[in-house]
A and B are shown apart, each in its own frame.
Chain A
Amino acid sequence: MKKIDYKLLIAVVILTLFGLLMIYSSSSVWAEYKFHDSFRYLKLQSIFFIISLIIMYIVIKIDYTYYLKKANIILIICFLLLLLVLIPGLGVVRNGSRSWFKLGFIAMQPSEFMKLSLIIFTSKYLSNNLKEIKSIIKGVIPILFITILAFLLIMLEPDMGTGLIILVTTIGLLFVSGVELSFFVKIMILGLMGLSGLIIIAPYRLNRILSFINPFNDPLGTGFQAIQSMYAIGPGGLFGTGLFKSIQKQFYLPEPQTDFIFSIISEEFGILGSIIVLGLFAYIIYRIIKTALKCNDLFSKFLCFGIIFQLSIQIILNLGVVTTLFPVTGVTLPFLSYGGSSLLITYISIGIILNISKNNVN
Chain B
Amino acid sequence: MFFNIIHKRIKIFFIFVIIMFIIIFLKVIYLQVIKYNKLKNGADDLWSRELPIEGDRGLIYDRNLDPLATNLTTTSLVLIPNQIKDKELVSSKLADILNVSKEDMDKHVYKKTSIERVHPEGRKLGFDVSNKISDLKLDGVYLVKEAKRYYPYNNNLSQVLGFVGIDNQGLSGLELNYDEYLKGKSGSIKYFSDAKGNKLDISEIYNEPSNGMNLMLTINNELQKSVERELDNAVLKYNPEHALAIAMDPNTGEILAMSSRPNFDPNNYKKYDTETLNRNLPIWMSYEPGSTFKIITLSASLEEKTIDLYKDTFYDSGHIQVENAKIKCWKTGGHHAETFLNVVENSCNPGFVVMGQKLGKERLFNYINKFGFGIKTGIDLSGEASGIMFNIDRVGPVELATTSFGQGVSVTPIQQITAVSAAINGGYLYKPYIVKALLEPETNTQIKTYDKKLVRRVIKEETSKEVRTALESVVTNGTGRNAFIDGYRVGGKTGTAQKVNNGIYMTGNYIVSFIGFMPSDNPEIIVYVAIDNPKGVVQYGGTVAAPIARNILYDSISILNIKKSKKAAEKKYQFNEKKYIEVPNFVGKNISELGKINNGLLIEYTGTGKRVIYQSIKSKERVLEGSKIRVLLGD
Interface of A toward B, CB cutoff 8 Å: 29, 33, 130, 172, 175-178, 227, 230-231, 233-238, 247-248, 250-252, 266, 270-271, 274, 278, 281-282, 285-286, 289, 292-293, 301, 305, 309, 312, 316, 319-320, 323-325
Binds A, one of B189-197, B500-508, B536-544, B607-615: B189-197
Q: Are A250 and B10 in contact (CB under 8 A)?
A: no
B602 at the binding interface (Cβ < 8 Å) = no
Chosen A-B contacts, 17 in total, with CB atoms closer than 8 Å, are A176-B9, A178-B5, A230-B31, A233-B28, A233-B31, A235-B40, A237-B33, A247-B202, A250-B198, A250-B200, A271-B29, A282-B18, A286-B14, A293-B10, A301-B3, A316-B20, A323-B24
Binds A, one of B41-49, B257-265, B464-472, B580-588: B41-49
B1-44 interface code vs A (CB 8 A; 1 in, 0 out) = 01101110111011001101101110111011101101110111
Q: Are B25 and A274 in contact (CB under 8 A)?
A: yes
Q: Are B6 and A176 in contact (CB under 8 A)?
A: yes
Distance in angstroms between the alpha carbons of A248 and B47 in the assembled complex: 9
Most chain B CB within a 10 A radius of its CB, from A247, A252, A281, A289: A247
User: Given contacts A247-B43, A282-B21, A319-B24, is CB(A309)–CB(B13) below 8 Å?
Assistant: yes
- Given the complex, which residues of A lie within 8 Å of B13, measured CB to CB? 172, 175-176, 289, 305, 309, 312
Q: Are A231 and B42 in contact (CB under 8 A)?
A: yes
Q: 9 more A-B contacts (CB under 8 A) besides A233-B32, A234-B39, A247-B47?
A: A33-B196, A231-B39, A231-B42, A231-B43, A235-B39, A235-B43, A289-B11, A293-B10, A320-B20
Distance in angstroms between the alpha carbons of A194 and B43 in the assembled complex: 38
User: Given contacts A234-B40, A320-B24, is CB(A285)–CB(B47) below 8 Å?
Assistant: no
User: Given contacts A172-B13, A176-B10, A281-B21, is CB(A238)–CB(B42) below 8 Å?
Assistant: no
B38-66 interface code vs A (CB 8 A; 1 in, 0 out) = 11101110110000000000000000000
Distance in angstroms between the alpha carbons of A285 and B39 in the assembled complex: 33
- Given the complex, which residues of A lie within 8 Å of B43, measured CB to CB? 231, 234-235, 247-248
Q: Are B17 and A236 in contact (CB under 8 A)?
A: no
Distance in angstroms between the alpha carbons of A319 and B22 in the assembled complex: 11
- Given the complex, which residues of B lie within 8 Å of A289, measured CB to CB? 10-11, 13-14
Distance in angstroms between the alpha carbons of A301 and B3 in the assembled complex: 10
Distance in angstroms between the alpha carbons of A231 and B32 in the assembled complex: 10
Q: Are B195 and A252 in contact (CB under 8 A)?
A: yes
Please give me the 3 A-B residue pairs with the lowest Cβ-Cβ distance, nearest first. A234-B39, A250-B194, A251-B195
Q: Are B35 and A177 in contact (CB under 8 A)?
A: no
- Given the complex, which residues of B lie within 8 Å of A278, measured CB to CB? 21, 24-25
Distance in angstroms between the alpha carbons of A293 and B47 in the assembled complex: 50
- List B residues 170-200 near A (Cβ within 8 Å): 192, 194-196, 198, 200
- Given the complex, which residues of A lie within 8 Å of B44, measured CB to CB? 235
Q: Are A270 and B32 in contact (CB under 8 A)?
A: yes
Most chain A CB within a 10 A radius of its CB, from B18, B28, B29, B202: B28
Closest Cβ of chain A to B205, distance in Å, is 14
DSSP class of B's interface residues: helix, strand, loop or mixed? helix
Distance in angstroms between the alpha carbons of A20 and B5 in the assembled complex: 40
- Given the complex, which residues of B lie within 8 Å of A233, measured CB to CB? 28, 31-32, 39
Q: Are B24 and A237 in contact (CB under 8 A)?
A: no
Name B29's closest neighbour in chain A (CB-CB): A271
- Given the complex, which residues of A lie within 8 Å of B194, measured CB to CB? 29, 247, 250-252
- Given the complex, which residues of B lie within 8 Å of A301, measured CB to CB? 3, 6
Across the interface, A234 reaches (CB within 8 A) one of B3, B21, B36, B192, namely B36
- Given the complex, which residues of B lie within 8 Å of A305, measured CB to CB? 10, 13
Distance in angstroms between the alpha carbons of A324 and B47 in the assembled complex: 21
Name A270's closest neighbour in chain B (CB-CB): B32
Closest Cβ of chain A to B31, distance in Å, is 5
- Given the complex, which residues of B lie within 8 Å of A282, measured CB to CB? 17-18, 21
Closest Cβ of chain B to A148, distance in Å, is 22
Most chain B CB within a 10 A radius of its CB, from A231, A278, A281, A309: A231
Name B33's closest neighbour in chain A (CB-CB): A238
Name B35's closest neighbour in chain A (CB-CB): A234
- Given the complex, which residues of B lie within 8 Å of A286, measured CB to CB? 14
Closest Cβ of chain A to B23, distance in Å, is 7
Closest Cβ of chain A to B1, distance in Å, is 11
- Given the complex, which residues of A lie within 8 Å of B10, measured CB to CB? 176, 289, 292-293, 305
- Given the complex, which residues of B lie within 8 Å of A324, measured CB to CB? 27
Distance in angstroms between the alpha carbons of A248 and B193 in the assembled complex: 10
Q: Are A234 and B31 in contact (CB under 8 A)?
A: yes
Q: Are A325 and B27 in contact (CB under 8 A)?
A: yes
Distance in angstroms between the alpha carbons of A305 and B7 in the assembled complex: 10
Distance in angstroms between the alpha carbons of A29 and B200 in the assembled complex: 12
Across the interface, A271 reaches (CB within 8 A) one of B28, B42, B196, B198, namely B28
Q: Are B36 and A237 in contact (CB under 8 A)?
A: yes
- Given the complex, which residues of A lie within 8 Å of B31, measured CB to CB? 230, 233-234, 323
Closest Cβ of chain B to A290, distance in Å, is 9
Closest Cβ of chain A to B434, distance in Å, is 50
Distance in angstroms between the alpha carbons of A325 and B9 in the assembled complex: 25
User: Given contacts A172-B13, A235-B43, is CB(A274)–CB(B28) below 8 Å?
Assistant: yes
- Given the complex, which residues of A lie within 8 Å of B11, measured CB to CB? 289, 293
Name B13's closest neighbour in chain A (CB-CB): A309
Distance in angstroms between the alpha carbons of A128 and B210 in the assembled complex: 81
Distance in angstroms between the alpha carbons of A164 and B47 in the assembled complex: 36
Q: Are A266 and B36 in contact (CB under 8 A)?
A: no
B485-500 interface code vs A (CB 8 A; 1 in, 0 out) = 0000000000000000
Q: Are B21 and A250 in contact (CB under 8 A)?
A: no
- Given the complex, which residues of A lie within 8 Å of B28, measured CB to CB? 233, 266, 271, 274, 323
Across the interface, A293 reaches (CB within 8 A) one of B7, B20, B46, B196, namely B7
Most chain B CB within a 10 A radius of its CB, from A29, A230, A234: A234
Distance in angstroms between the alpha carbons of A348 and B40 in the assembled complex: 41
- Given the complex, which residues of B lie within 8 Å of A248, measured CB to CB? 43
Q: Are B32 and A236 in contact (CB under 8 A)?
A: yes
Distance in angstroms between the alpha carbons of A99 and B17 in the assembled complex: 29
Q: Are B195 and A175 in contact (CB under 8 A)?
A: no
Closest Cβ of chain A to B156, distance in Å, is 54
Closest Cβ of chain A to B468, distance in Å, is 74
Distance in angstroms between the alpha carbons of A234 and B47 in the assembled complex: 14
User: Given contacts A231-B46, A274-B28, is CB(A325)–CB(B23) below 8 Å?
Assistant: yes
Closest Cβ of chain B to A305, distance in Å, is 6
Closest Cβ of chain B to A109, distance in Å, is 25
Q: Are A251 and B21 in contact (CB under 8 A)?
A: no
Name A172's closest neighbour in chain B (CB-CB): B13
- Given the complex, which residues of A lie within 8 Å of B36, measured CB to CB? 234-235, 237
Closest Cβ of chain A to B25, distance in Å, is 6
Distance in angstroms between the alpha carbons of A289 and B6 in the assembled complex: 12
Q: Are B195 and A250 in contact (CB under 8 A)?
A: yes
Q: Are B200 and A247 in contact (CB under 8 A)?
A: yes
- Given the complex, which residues of A lie within 8 Å of B6, measured CB to CB? 176-178, 301
Distance in angstroms between the alpha carbons of A25 and B6 in the assembled complex: 42
Q: Are B40 and A285 in contact (CB under 8 A)?
A: no
Name A325's closest neighbour in chain B (CB-CB): B27
Closest Cβ of chain B to A30, distance in Å, is 11
Distance in angstroms between the alpha carbons of A323 and B18 in the assembled complex: 16
Closest Cβ of chain A to B393, distance in Å, is 65
Closest Cβ of chain B to A353, distance in Å, is 14
Q: Are A230 and B39 in contact (CB under 8 A)?
A: yes
- Given the complex, which residues of B lie within 8 Å of A234, measured CB to CB? 31-32, 35-36, 38-40, 43
- Given the complex, which residues of B lie within 8 Å of A237, measured CB to CB? 32-33, 36, 40
Closest Cβ of chain B to A298, distance in Å, is 8
Name B195's closest neighbour in chain A (CB-CB): A251
Distance in angstroms between the alpha carbons of A282 and B14 in the assembled complex: 9
- Given the complex, which residues of A lie within 8 Å of B17, measured CB to CB? 282, 285, 312, 316
- Given the complex, which residues of A lie within 8 Å of B42, measured CB to CB? 227, 231
Distance in angstroms between the alpha carbons of A278 and B25 in the assembled complex: 8
Name B9's closest neighbour in chain A (CB-CB): A176
Distance in angstroms between the alpha carbons of A236 and B195 in the assembled complex: 18
Distance in angstroms between the alpha carbons of A282 and B44 in the assembled complex: 34
- Given the complex, which residues of A lie within 8 Å of B200, measured CB to CB? 247, 250
- Given the complex, which residues of A lie within 8 Å of B9, measured CB to CB? 175-176, 178
